[in-house]
Amino acid sequence: MRLAIKVIGGTRRTELALLAAVVVLTLVRVAATHHVFSAVVDEPVHIAAGYQWIVKHSNGFDPVHPPLARGPFARCLWRGSLRRGITG
């Protein structure tokens, strides 16, 4: 699969330089927003609450938020624990 980038009147070297510039600009823009959209520390709590909802059918761990969105993420943890023989 070839990238279809054509610069009018440009050579292959110009096309690659343009592509590299776009990639670098994209990486710089993503890195500049890291402090705003950084990872949050409460994600393990949401996964644990989803795991409790799947295993014990209880939403007592964190009843403020609905468990439906947590279920798919905790399901991976639950399937891994079944393979290892760990029960909740």
What was the pLDDT predicted at 24?
Answer: 97
Contact partners, residue 24, CB within 8 Å, separation at least 6: none
Contact 7/14 with Cβ under 8 angstroms? yes
Is residue 84 over pLDDT 70?
A: no
Q: Select from 62, 56, 60, 59 the least CA-distant residue to 44.
A: 62
Residue 10 region, left (φ>0) first, then alpha (ψ -120 to 50), else beta? Answer: beta
In the chain, the amino acid numbered 4 is A
Do the Cβ atoms of 78 and 51 come closer than 8 Å?
Answer: yes
Task: State residue 5's pLDDT score.
Answer: 57
At which residue do the structure tokens 């699969």 appear? 1
pLDDT at 34: 79
- Mean pLDDT across the chain, nearest whole number? 76
pLDDT tens per residue, range 50-83: 888 778 877 777 777 776 777 777 877 777 666 5
